[in-house]
Copies of this chain bind each other. A is one copy, B any other.
Amino acid sequence: MIKYIALYRRPDDPGAFDEKYFGSHLDLVGNTPGLLRTEVAKVRRVFVPGFLGESEPYLVAEMYFADEAAMKAALQSPEWQVAGANLSEIGGLDLVAMFAAEVLS
């Protein structure tokens, strides 16, 4: 199992961001072929800022795929492209770090 992680830092206007993220972006992500599950979590407290430094984590979205091949296919799908374009439109690209991680346990 592998997951594609989108870690967002706190937007200047969290309310406006949430409206667009939960109102449009998340539904578009949900259309991605091969996507098994999406887990979205809102950061409530930072205990150790560590190497995140001055950027406050805000939201973590994790998209699960069966394996790397399924994720690769998903990232090339038209549905993913549409979701990516939407993320750019709603100003999310300036806020996010994205990486993929293999689930070990």
Query: Counting CB contacts under 8 A, is A103 at the interface?
Result: yes
Q: Give the number of times this chain occurs in the complex, counting copies.
A: 2
Residue in B closest to A75 when the chains form the complex, CB atoms: B47
How close is A73's CB to chain B, nearest CB, in angstroms? 15
Main secondary structure of the interface of A (DSSP, over half): strand
Q: How many residues of A contact B (CB 8 A)?
A: 40
Query: Counting CB contacts under 8 A, is A19 at the interface?
Result: no
Residue in B closest to A48 when the chains form the complex, CB atoms: B98
Could you list which residues of chain A lie within 8 angstroms of chain B, going by C-beta atoms?
A: 2-5, 7, 9, 26, 38-53, 55, 57, 59-60, 68, 93, 95-105
> Which B residues are in CB contact (< 8 Å) with A45?
99-100
